[in-house]
A and B are shown apart, each in its own frame.
Chain A
Amino acid sequence: MGIDRRAFLKIAGLSTMLGLGGKAALDVFAPGEVEASTKGVPLTAGKRWAMGIDVRLLDDKVISEATAACHRHHNVPDLASAKEEIKWIWEEDYEHSFPGHQHEYVGDDIKHAKFLLLCNHCSNPPCCRVCPTKATWQRPDGIVMMDPHRCIGCRFCMAACPFGARSFNWGDPRRVTRIPELIAKNPGFPFNKDYPTRSKGVVEKCTFCVDLLEKGEQPLCVTAANKIKKGSFTFGDLSDAESSIRVLLRKRYSLRRKSELGTNPNVFYLI
C-alpha cells in the first residue's frame, strides 16, 4: 500500500495544525499543549519515565491508598481468588520482592518491610520480545504499553516477565457485577465509567498511567501515596539529569528487582 488512511490523516492533521495554527484551541488547553499532542507521543516525547519508591516511607496506609487509586481508576476488580487475581500494583514482602538479595543478617526493618510492586517498564523488556502480535511494545518514552485490542491471550508475555507484573483474565471481569459474593467486594463496578474494563482472554498490567501522563498529570499511585507521605513516590524523566528522580537516585542508594537478569527495570526502591 502506498499511503494508507492513517498516514494520510497524520499528514493532513499536521499540516492543518501548522498551517492554520493551533491558536483556536487555546481556550480548551494550556498554551502549547495541543501543539505538543500532535507530535507522536504528546507531552512525553523525548522523555524516559521512571519511578522511585522510598521503602522507608511505605506503610499500610500508603500501600492501600496507592493500590486503591490505581485499581479504581483502571477498573481492576477484586476477584477474591489468588489464582485469578488481577493486579496492576500490589504489596509484597522483602523476600519475594528481592530474591537473591537477602541474607540472615539483614536488619528487621528491611526484612519485615512491605514493598509495593508494579510493572518495572524495563528498558530491555522480555515481554515485548515474545509477543506475537505486538500487543505489547515499548514506547519511545520507555513505557511498556499494552494494547488490549490486539491481545490474543497467548500469555507468552506472562511467561517472559520475571516480575509477575502481568495478569490474565481467565473469565469476564464483569462477573463481579453478577456473582453475589463478588458484588459485595466490588461495589459500583466498573468504578470509573470513563475507563474501559477488559474482557475474558486478554492480559493486562500497569501502563504508568499513560492516559494521565498524556494530560500532563502524574501516575495515580504517585499522587495518592504522596498525599499521605510526601516524597514516598517520585516520578520523572531519567533523560533529564536535573529531574527530581535523577537527583534522588544520586542522593540515595536504590535497589531494582532482579537486576541481574538484565531487563533493566525502571522502578527504583530507595533503601
Chain B
Amino acid sequence: MYDGGKIIAGLIIGIGLLMSPFFYNAGKAAKEPERALTDKAKQAKQCVMDKAYMTSSHFSLLDEWRHTVVRDGERYYKRADGKVFYKSLQVTCMDCHSNKANFCDQCHNYMAVTPYCWDCHIAPEEKK
C-alpha cells in the first residue's frame, strides 16, 4: 500500500472531526426541563389517565378524543374512578394545564415537536 501511514492518519483525523460534536457534548446532555403544575392541576392531583400514560401517549389520547368527538359525537370521557370529563383540548386539558408555555411547550421544545393544533385551537395565553 502506498502512503499507508498518511491514509491512516487522514482517516483518524477525519473520523475525529466527524465525531467531534459527540466528544464536545459528552457528559453534558441537555437536562430535561422540569414541568410546573398549575395550582388547579396540583389540587386535582391526577390527570385524565395515569401519569406514565400521559407522559408517553397524551397525543394518542388527544387523537382519540378528537376522532370520537368530531366524528362520533361522543363528548364525554369517564376516568376509571368514575370522574367524567368533557373531551376537549382547549376547554379541559388547558384548563388544568393553563401554563402551556411552562408545561406543554417546554417539553415539546426539548423534544423538538411542534403540534399544529394551535393554528385553530385557542391557547390559554391568548385568553387574557
Pairing of A with B: yes
Question: Which residues of A line the B interface, CB within 8 A?
Answer: 5-6, 9, 13, 16-17, 20, 22, 24-25, 28-29, 34, 37-38, 40-42, 44, 139, 145, 147-149, 172, 190, 193-200, 210-211, 214-215
A13 touches B78 (CB 8 A): yes
Chain A residue contacts of B83, Cβ below 8 A: 24-25
Question: Which residues of B line the A interface, CB within 8 A?
Answer: 60, 64, 66-68, 70-78, 80, 82-84, 88, 90-91, 116, 119-122, 126-127
Chain B residue contacts of A38, Cβ below 8 A: 74, 76
Question: 17 A-B residue contacts at CB 8 Å?
Answer: A5-B64, A6-B67, A16-B80, A17-B78, A25-B78, A29-B76, A40-B73, A42-B73, A172-B119, A190-B126, A195-B122, A196-B90, A196-B121, A197-B122, A200-B119, A211-B75, A214-B73
A22 to B77, CA, bound (A): 12
Chain A residue contacts of B82, Cβ below 8 A: 20, 24-25
A41 touches B72 (CB 8 A): yes
A190 to B70, CA, bound (A): 20
B73 touches A194 (CB 8 A): no
A44 touches B78 (CB 8 A): no
B91 touches A194 (CB 8 A): yes
A155: min CB distance to chain B, Å: 18
A199 touches B120 (CB 8 A): yes
Please provide the 6 A-B residue pairs with the shortest distance between their CB atoms, ordered closest to farther.
Answer: A24-B82, A199-B119, A196-B120, A41-B73, A25-B84, A37-B76
B119: min CB distance to chain A, Å: 4
Chain B residue contacts of A149, Cβ below 8 A: 66, 70
B121: min CB distance to chain A, Å: 5
A41 to B83, CA, bound (A): 21
Chain B residue contacts of A41, Cβ below 8 A: 72-74
Chain B residue contacts of A16, Cβ below 8 A: 78, 80
B19: min CB distance to chain A, Å: 41
A44 touches B73 (CB 8 A): yes
Chain A residue contacts of B75, Cβ below 8 A: 37, 42, 211, 214-215
B46: min CB distance to chain A, Å: 15
A139 touches B70 (CB 8 A): no
A37 to B126, CA, bound (A): 31
A194 to B95, CA, bound (A): 10
B87: min CB distance to chain A, Å: 10
A197 to B126, CA, bound (A): 13
Residue of B nearest to A197 (CB): B120
B64 touches A196 (CB 8 A): no
Question: Which of B60, B68, B70 counts the most A-chain CB atoms under 10 A from its CB?
Answer: B70
A40 touches B70 (CB 8 A): no
Residue of B nearest to A24 (CB): B82
Question: Which of A5, A9, A190, A196 counts the most B-chain CB atoms under 10 A from its CB?
Answer: A196
Chain A residue contacts of B122, Cβ below 8 A: 190, 193-197
Chain B residue contacts of A195, Cβ below 8 A: 90, 122
With A6-B64, A42-B75 already in contact, 4 other A-B pairs whose C-beta atoms are closer than 8 Å: A6-B67, A17-B78, A37-B76, A195-B90
A194 to B84, CA, bound (A): 18
B116: min CB distance to chain A, Å: 8
B21: min CB distance to chain A, Å: 37
A126 to B70, CA, bound (A): 20
A195 to B90, CA, bound (A): 8
B103: min CB distance to chain A, Å: 18
Q: Which of B66, B73, B76, B91 is in CB contact (< 8 Å) with A210?
A: B73
